[in-house]
Structures are given as C-alpha cells and as structure tokens.
C-alpha cells in the first residue's frame, strides 16, 4: 500500500518549462520564458499529484495520479493565456508531464535520458514526485476558429524554433507538428473536426467561453474528454469571462460540482464599478496584477484602459468581461449581477418561529422546482428540510428525471411547522392538486394560486423586486442556485412596454428566481394588508397572557 502523503506538485514540470521555452514574440523574442505567478500557480495545481499515487511502469493510465482531471484558467485580454498554453503544450509534448514515482535520496531528472542535448538536470528532494515524458503524445490544440487556434499555435512554433527545443522537435509545420517517437500536435477548429475521437493525451481548449451547443463546440469538448479518458490524458481550458446567457463550456465547467476540476479565476471586489474610471483602474490592477507594465509586466496600463473605455461606449458588458474579468450578461438581463450581489446579498441566520411569506414555482420533469421565503424585514432565503438539511430547490436530474413530489410535500410541511407562514404564492402550473391540498390544510387565504403568465401582474412584481433591491428594502441569502437562476433570467418583451421572464436556453433554469419574486410579492402584499402587524400584535398579546 502507498505511503500516506499530502498531495504535492510535480515541481519539475514548471522548472522544465522555464529551462526550455522562450518568449515567442515582441522585443524579448527568444529570451527565456519566465512564468508569471498566475501561470506558475496554474501549472502547480494542474500537476498536483495525489498523495496515494502509485507509479506502475509502462501503465497506460498515468494521468489519474493527478488530483485534477482538467483545469480552467479565466483571465482578461492579453494577460498571457496563449503563451502559457503554448508552453504547456511543449511540456506535454516532450517534457516531464507524467508522474514517475516518488523520489529517493539520489534521484533526478536529466534531459539527456530523453533525447534532449541541452544538458539540463533537475535534482529531486527525497519524497518529491518525479516526472517523465509521454511515450507517444497526441495533442489537439482546439478552438472555435483558426484565429483563436493561432493564439496558441502561433506562439508555440517560435517557442520551439528559437530555443533548445529546436533540437528535440526539428520540424514545426503550418498545420501540425510531429514529435519524437511518433507523437503529434494538431490544430482543431469547429470547421476541421476530422481528427476528433482519437485517443488524445492532452487537449488545450482555447476561449471555451465561446463554446456552446449552438456552434457545436460543446459536442467537440465532450468528444475530446472521452478521448482523454481512454488514455488517462487531461484537458486545459482557457477563456475570457463568459456571457452567462450562452451556457458555454466554460460556464458549465466552472459551475460543475466536480471536485477534480481546477478553477483559477482572479476577480476584483464586486463593490467596484467598472463604469467608474477610478474603480476600473483598481479592477485592472486586481485582475492583471503582475502582468501590468506598472508592476513590471508586459501589459500597458494605459492601453488597456483606453481599449476598455472605448468598448464601454459600444458594449459595456463585453468590456467588463474582456478587460474586467467579470461574468456579465449581455442585453436583456433582468437583474444585473452587480445589483443582485452588491444591492442585496446579506448572509444571516433565520431562526425558526419567525413570521414569513413564501413563493413556490413548480415543474414536473424538465424545469426545476423551488420554494423561497421572505421575513417581515424583507430578507429572502432558501430554507432547508429533512434529516440532511437539503435546500428547498429540486433539480429533476438528481431525482431520476422527475421532481420528487413526496420530498416537496415534506419540505412544505416542515416549513409550515418551523415558521409562521402568512402567505404562500404558488405558480399553479403542474401543481394545482398539491396547491389545493396545501390550501385545505393551511387555509385558502394563506396558500394562494399566483399565475406567473399574467403579464401585467408579473411585470409589476418583477419591477417591484428590482426597485426594492436598489433601495435596500430587501436582501437575500446569497443562495448559489438562486443567484445562478437570477443571472439566467432574461426579459421577454410583451405589449404595453411590459415584460415577463424567460430562459435564454433550455439548459439555463430560472425557477428559483421566479420563486424569489413570488416570495417578495407575497410579503409585500401581506405588509399592505397589515398581516405582519396583526400577527405580531396577536403574538405579543398571547405572550403577555401566558406571563399573567
């Protein structure tokens, strides 16, 4: 049995990169490639070796020795994602990218053992993970367009040709690079997918924030992941911040619950406004960091500011994504992320016994089902139920493809036991019978059908929710699912300058956002009718009578 160890990075990997890769362009073209801290951090985490990893010589499945199956790097324009990926390809092509056991007292890595005559050696510390090259690597540099492929491939060729790797990889072609031992580096785009399905060892996927089901790149990603699984290979994804309305591969990987995906995404505080020039400078300093010229890097501060300011006039959301490294929705977003995050987010504990109102949005087999509550002082939250304290939001995919109605019934019953529910507004679609049961049990003036397809009423409720967030009259619990659903929600225009909410795509759900709006509408109507005050006074009188 392998000795118990903590996970450790394959330190030889980034050390090899700096010893063999060169700057591909610019005034320092041909100079040694020095990793920025963000690039080094990414590689160290990508090559993090599991403490229980065992090296089996000649094993075809050496990739699982690593903690992470794939990595995602999100960064702003011109930060150096392309050169980082090119260096990463060099490493996976001819460098020590595989785990090769745990080092003893006299172990080291010597380039001469692997056909490289540069003379470089690396001395391992005892107990440090060791590395070795792939015997026959097959690498696919993949992007939506040829221009995006060139972000990596265009940096890769001079990185090889101008440095010590020129002796190891003697020919770098326009379309592919042949590696020693029969390996190969190919370029793949949406219009050139003939090599998909191969048993690849490494796949750098560029600008995955643009990869969607519509342009068929989601299918490309899935196919490549299957090919990697067959070889124990891994993928490295890079991108700008994405538009959440597009449900891209980047968004899917970032929001996935998978623990073996490494995610690196530097962000500035949400309290900073990208439209404010002074704040924008602070945002750039946070997300570009050491790469800014003012910090000794290659990115000119003033040029980035000029480009961002210019794009702000034409497409503010795109400017904030590209240069501010922020997830910002495009046109049609119902609730801007900064309003939801800055305007109302407030973590707090809500004790049992409080007066609340509820909002319920239900479905059957496709959309989700959600129950949200709001307190008398305007704080909305997702309650929990059952022995495992599960949130009252149900994804049918987690329940064999269908909403678990028994679970929902149990949750509603527990909410009514734990809190004093004054009103519960329920969208009746798919749940009329259950709503009738709840009304019979708790009262028809408490459990009320509230159809969300009524344009005038829904538009008014949506506008009131936004206004009360802006003015600070309402807050919320930062529930991650509700936050995601609010971010997905789009305005669907209707007559009379009104709108209702719609999903940007079938995969992007908004049900928790609908439940949130219904909870707020129920609470505001209860305030207008004096329900909160009446019940509070009645409870106060009851307590006095008990004392007497």
Cite the beta strand spans of 115-266 per DSSP E. 121-123, 129-132, 138-142, 176-178, 184-188, 202-206, 234-239, 261-265
C-alpha atoms less than 13 angstroms from C-alpha of 307 in its C-beta half-sphere: 17
Mean pLDDT along residues 216-233: 91
User: In the structure encoding, which two tokens stand for residue 187, read together?
Assistant: 């370029």
Instruction: Give the pLDDT confidence score for residue 50 in this predicted structure.
Output: 95
The pLDDT confidence band at residue 547, using thresholds 50, 70 and 90, is: very low
Give the residue range(s) of CATH 3.40.50.300 domains in the chain.
8-265
Instruction: Give the pLDDT confidence score for residue 123 in this predicted structure.
Output: 97
Main-chain phi, psi angles of 93, to 5 degrees: -80, -45
Main-chain phi, psi angles of 110, to 5 degrees: -125, 125
DSSP tag of 105? T
C-alpha 332: how far from chain center:
21
Sequence-ordered list of residues with C-beta below 8 angstroms from that of 298, at least 6 positions apart, any chain:
26, 80, 291
The pLDDT confidence band at residue 488, using thresholds 50, 70 and 90, is: confident
Residue 1 has pLDDT above 50, yes or no: no
Cite the beta strand spans of 80-192 per DSSP E. 98-102, 108-110, 121-123, 129-132, 138-142, 176-178, 184-188
Alpha helices by DSSP H, listed for 293-430, are 301-314, 316-324, 337-338, 344, 405-418
Mean pLDDT along residues 168-173: 82
Higher pLDDT, 102 or 147: 102
Instruction: Give the pLDDT confidence score for residue 493 in this predicted structure.
Output: 85
Nearest to 264 by CA among 112, 39, 84, 443: 39
The pLDDT confidence band at residue 317, using thresholds 50, 70 and 90, is: confident
DSSP 448-464: EE--TT-HHHHHHHHHH
User: In the structure encoding, which two tokens stand for residue 8, read together?
Assistant: 């450790």
Given CA atoms 179, 183, 185, 191 in this order, what sign does their dihedral have? positive
CATH number for domain 8-265, candidates 1.20.120.920, 3.10.20.740, 3.40.50.720, 3.40.50.300: 3.40.50.300
Percentages (nearest 5) of helix, strand, coil residues in the chain: 40, 20, 40
DSSP tag of 198? S
Number of H helices, E strands in the chain: 17, 24
The CA–CA distances, whole Å, from 60 to 54, 229, 496 equal: 13, 11, 64
pTM of the predicted model, to two decimals?
0.72
Nearest to 81 by CA among 340, 347, 298: 298
Residue 548 has pLDDT above 50, yes or no: no
Instruction: Give the pLDDT confidence score for residue 263 in this predicted structure.
Output: 97
Residue located via tokens 């507004």: 425
Exposure string over 73-104, b if 16+ CB within 10 A, otherwise e: bbbbbbbbbbbbbbbbbbbbbbbbbbbbbbbe
**Parallel/antiparallel/unpaired status of strands 420-427 and 98-102:** unpaired
Instruction: Give the pLDDT confidence score for residue 341 in this predicted structure.
Output: 79
Any idea which architecture 342-535 has in CATH? Answer: 2-Layer Sandwich (3.30)
Exposure string over 163-194, b if 16+ CB within 10 A, otherwise e: bbbeebbeebeeebbebbeebbbbbbbbeeee
pLDDT per position as a tens digit, 104-141: 999 999 999 998 999 999 999 999 999 999 999 999 99
Residue 211 and residue 209: Cα distance in Å, rounded? 6
Average pLDDT, whole number, for the chain?
Answer: 91
Beta carbons of 518 and 461 less than 8 angstroms apart: yes
Main-chain phi, psi angles of 244, to 5 degrees: -65, -15
Instruction: Give the pLDDT confidence score for residue 537 in this predicted structure.
Output: 87
pLDDT per position as a tens digit, 346-376: 778 899 999 999 999 999 888 999 999 999 9
Q: How big is the chain, counted in residues?
A: 548
Give the residue range(s) of CATH 3.30.420.240 domains in the chain.
342-535
Instruction: Give the pLDDT confidence score for residue 175 in this predicted structure.
Output: 75
Residue 503 has pLDDT above 60, yes or no: yes
Residue 496 has pLDDT above 80, yes or no: yes
Q: For the ranges 9-13, 289-293, 381-385, 498-502, which has the lowest average pLDDT?
A: 498-502
In sequence order, what are the beta bridge partners of 498?
A: 494
Residue 486 and residue 510: Cα distance in Å, rounded? 6
């Amino acid at each position: 049995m392998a000795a118990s160890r903590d996970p450790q990075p394959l330190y030889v990997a980034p050390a090899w990169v700096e010893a063999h890769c060169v700057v591909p362009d610019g005034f320092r073209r041909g100079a040694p490639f020095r990793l920025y801290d963000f690039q080094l951090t990414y590689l160290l985490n990508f090559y993090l070796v599991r403490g229980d990893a065992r090296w089996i010589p000649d094993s075809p499945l050496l990739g699982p020795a690593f903690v992470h199956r794939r990595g995602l790097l999100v960064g702003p324009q011109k930060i150096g994602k392309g050169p980082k990926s090119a260096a990463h390809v060099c490493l996976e092509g001819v460098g020590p990218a595989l785990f090769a056991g745990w080092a003893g007292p006299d172990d080291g890595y010597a380039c001469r053992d692997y056909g490289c005559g540069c003379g470089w050696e690396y001395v391992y510390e005892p107990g440090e993970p060791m590395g070795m090259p792939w015997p026959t690597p097959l690498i696919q540099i993949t992007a939506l367009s040829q221009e995006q492929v060139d972000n990596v491939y265009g940096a890769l060729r001079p990185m090889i040709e101008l440095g010590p790797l020129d002796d190891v990889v003697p020919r770098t072609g326009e379309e592919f690079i042949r590696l020693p031992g029969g390996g190969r580096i190919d370029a793949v785009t949406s219009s050139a997918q003939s090599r998909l399905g191969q048993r690849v060892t490494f796949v750098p996927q560029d600008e995955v924030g643009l990869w969607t089901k519509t342009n068929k790149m989601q299918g490309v990603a899935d196919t490549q992941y299957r090919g990697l699984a067959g070889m124990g290979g891994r993928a490295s994804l890079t991108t700008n911040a994405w538009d959440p309305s597009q449900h891209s591969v980047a968004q899917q990987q970032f929001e996935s619950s998978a623990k073996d995906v490494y995610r690196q995404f530097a962000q500035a505080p949400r309290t900073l406004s990208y439209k404010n020039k002074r704040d924008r400078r602070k945002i750039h300093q946070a997300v570009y960091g050491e790469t800014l010229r003012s910090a000794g890097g290659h990115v000119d501060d003033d040029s980035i500011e000029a480009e961002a300011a210019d794009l702000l006039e034409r497409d503010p959301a795109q400017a904030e994504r590209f240069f501010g490294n922020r997830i910002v929705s495009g046109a049609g977003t119902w609730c801007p992320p900064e309003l939801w995050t800055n305007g109302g987010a407030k973590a707090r504990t809500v004790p049992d016994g409080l007066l609340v109102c509820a909002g319920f949005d239900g479905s059957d087999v496709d959309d989700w089902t959600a129950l949200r509550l709001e307190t008398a002082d305007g704080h909305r939250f997702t309650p929990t139920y059952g022995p495992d304290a599960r949130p009252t939001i149900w994804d049918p995919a987690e329940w064999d493809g269908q909403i678990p109605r028994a679970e929902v019934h149990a949750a509603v019953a527990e909410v009514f036991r734990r809190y004093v529910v004054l009103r519960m507004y329920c969208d009746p679609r798919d749940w009329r019978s259950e709503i009738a049961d709840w009304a019979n049990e708790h009262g028809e003036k408490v459990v009320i059908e509230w159809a969300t397809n009524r344009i005038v009423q829904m538009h008014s409720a949506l506008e009131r929710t936004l206004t009360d967030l802006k003015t600070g009259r309402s807050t919320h619990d930062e529930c991650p699912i509700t936050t995601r659903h609010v971010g997905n929600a789009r305005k669907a225009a209707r007559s009379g300058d009104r709108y209702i909410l719609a999903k940007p795509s079938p995969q992007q759900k908004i049900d928790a956002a609908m439940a949130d709006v219904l909870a707020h509408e129920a609470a505001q109507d209860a305030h207008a009718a004096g329900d909160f005050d009446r019940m509070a006074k009645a409870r106060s009188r009851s307590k006095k009578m008990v004392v007497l």
